[in-house]
A and B are shown apart, each in its own frame.
Chain A
Amino acid sequence: MKRRLFLLPAVRVLAVASLGFVGVGVRDAAAAILVVAQDGMATATNCNATNPTPYTTIGAAVTASGSGDTIVVCPGLYAEQVTIIKTLTLLGAKAGVDARTRAFVPADESIIDHPCGPVQIEADNVVLNGFTVQGSTLPDPCFLAGIWSNPDFSGTQGGHQILNNIVQNNISGIELDSTCVNPTLVQFNLIQNNNNPGPGSGNGIQTNFSLCNATIDSNKFSGHLSTSMLLVAGQSNLAISNNELVGGTPERIFLANTTASSITGNVSIGSTSSGTIRLFSGNSSVTISGNSLLNGMRGIRVNDLDPLTAGGNSGIQAHFNCIQGNSLAGLEVAAGDHTGILNAENNWWGSATGPTNPGNPGGTGDAIIAPDNNVDFIPFLTSCPAFTPGKVTGGGQVSVLGGKASFGFNAKQGSGAGSGHLNYMNHVTGAHLDCTVTAITEFTATTAKFSGTCSPNSSATNFMASVEDHGEPGKGNDKFMITYGLTTEGGTLISGNIQIHK
């Protein structure tokens, strides 16, 4: 088989170097590095090397490893179930490469694919970095998730780090459970389309056992038919931050039985769920701040539909959120479902007049529905703190699979969420977008993210674009990435330019 040129991401080289690697499978007193390549030839820093390695499957390397070892996995499709019962660091071909923005090129990925559950973490402090994990399709007694963890089951304390992975096309994405002993981190992952039939289908991350002392940060959720995060088993000390929930499906954050936790800086535009942040029952001391909850049905919903547990929420706070364009309510607190006052001061409700509520005559923003009159929403913000006046324009081409695509856009932000237009055409597939920009969700001196809805003759109903302006020339420097439907493509400009005007 012709070997593909494969350059190791810097993080893998650094990780390998820090361990004093001297050769394949060489073990020193502290730790060893084991290299997995399907053709049996590679070194830890070069998958094209002709040095033999004894490991052609990840499972074989796991079996041969000792606690504290690192396993480097070259690109390939690994149709196996990887059960990790030792403290190991597993580095895929894309270790250190943010999964949210990298183009998915199967030949460049280390793909773990298994119908009974590709990855099970049954040890403390396991690191899984830079893989694609996919293919869970089988019900119990299989594991039902792409990545499965359950410290109670294995008698361990959790503390796993799940980084830079594409987790896709499973029944559910990640079964995330951990005790409070070791901090757990889920970061820079693209978690998408985990909708295969079975228990838990349609959830990006879910808990069935318990989760504590965990950070879910800077992940991208897309295409799920139930929730982005379904955390209902009993959670505490969670930080859910800076995640992107792509619209058009019911992507949402759903909590029950959660205490002492925060939901901060997340962005959702166009969720079709009944509540983008949904607090069911048993939640207390949960702070919701700095999120952009745009164009959904309800920005925040506190509503326990289970009559046996009704009224179990308390101490919920919401501050400095941008809540706008939600068709039913910006915030709804059902009767009897929050004990005491819900403090929702200093939020933007989509209008300088404040929310629509009987307690705010003349308010025309998103509604606050609270039959128990138990929401304190005054003072409210008269502008969204995330809205920065400015414009961004661009025109050019990017590489896509098999060829190139053209784009042209203008977007601006003033006192509103954003406006403008985007046209896009993939010259290979013929996919075409003719879309209105409805929100700019990130606007810095060098980066912008915007999204919107597309005309009926487009190839998708909505889009989300991420652009970068790194000066002149745009070619080779600026970046344009777009997500539409289930497709994400783009990258560094092959010609053209992007300019942020602030």
Chain B
Amino acid sequence: MTRLGFVLTALLAVAGVMGPAPVAAQDDVAGVTGAGEGIFSTGATFNGVTLRRLELGHGLFIARDGSAMGQFHAVLRGTSLLGQARDVIVEGKVTGGSVAGNGGVTFSGTATVNMGDGTPPVPGVPFAATVSTNSLALILNATALPTATVSAGSITIE
């Protein structure tokens, strides 16, 4: 091999090493999944809807650099000011996350929120969720909801 050929080969080899890592090669610090139901303590409200329960479903990976990928989904179930049943649907894309010292995790991103009142869904709503294996605390558009306790199903943090 010529010297130039050697140099090119070496550069290509280095580029191969230094190039973008495959997705699966990223160093995840946590995987979070959940599906089930939760109960809000009294006094939980969001945009005039009194919340009683929620249905949750989420799956995501949190990387060591604080980025995250995955989905967060919640149906916040309650009643409107007029006493009508109302489901607020939150469909979130998770983009960041971290692991807390107590074993819980926090993840965040933006969500599309459908108030369930006939108005168009609102995209780009910031959210953050802190979860443990038996609870979920949601901050939605700067409104911090009371922590919901998981009453059925499960949340897994690995």
Contacts and interface: CB of A to CB of B under 8 A. Distances in A.
Contacts, number: 139
B33 A406 contact: no
A424 B69 contact: no
Interface stretch (B8-16, B43-51, B52-60, B138-146): B52-60
A406 B59 contact: no
Interface stretch (B24-32, B78-86, B98-106): B24-32
Interface string A392-409: 011111000000111111
B134 interface: no
A393 B55 contact: no
Assign chain B's interface to a size class: 35 or more
A390 B25 CA distance: 8
A410 B114 CA distance: 25
Max chain B C-beta neighbours (<10 A), residue from A405, A423, A432 = A423
Contacts of A457: 154
Contacts of A414: 22, 24-25
A409 B93 CA distance: 14
A389 interface: yes
Given A397-B75, A410-B31, A497-B91, A425 B153 contact: yes
B55 A406 contact: yes
A288 B34 CA distance: 39
A175 interface: no
Interface string A478-502: 0000000000000000011111011
A160 interface: no
B17 interface: no
A434 B36 CA distance: 10
A246 to B, nearest CB: 21
Contact of B33 (A389, A409, A497, A501): A409
A74 B154 CA distance: 42
B60 A497 contact: no
A473 interface: yes
Contact of A396 (B28, B31, B73): B73
Contacts of B31: 410, 420-421
Nearest to A475: B91
B25 A395 contact: no
B69 A498 contact: no
A474 interface: yes
Contacts of A410: 31-33, 59-61, 70
Interface in A369-400: 389-391, 393-397
B72 interface: yes
B89 interface: yes
A492 B106 CA distance: 29
Max chain A C-beta neighbours (<10 A), residue from B25, B35, B36, B112 = B35
A498 B71 contact: yes
B152 interface: yes
A412 B24 contact: yes
Max chain B C-beta neighbours (<10 A), residue from A394, A410, A424 = A410
Contacts of B37: 406, 425, 427
Given A498-B71, A499-B69, A393 B35 contact: no
Given A409-B33, A423-B36, A502-B23, A395 B73 contact: yes
B95 to A, nearest CB: 12
A232 B23 CA distance: 46
A149 interface: no
B99 to A, nearest CB: 15
B22 A473 contact: no
A395 B22 contact: no
B57 A496 contact: yes
B26 to A, nearest CB: 8
B34 A408 contact: yes
B57 A397 contact: yes
A396 B156 contact: no
Please name the 4 residue pairs, one residue from A and one from B, whose CB atoms are nearest each other, closest first: A395-B71, A423-B35, A406-B57, A393-B70
5 contacts: A393-B60, A396-B73, A412-B61, A421-B59, A430-B152
Given A407-B57, A432-B153, A495-B89, 14 more contacts: A390-B22, A391-B23, A393-B61, A393-B69, A394-B71, A395-B73, A396-B73, A397-B73, A397-B75, A408-B34, A421-B59, A423-B155, A425-B153, A495-B91
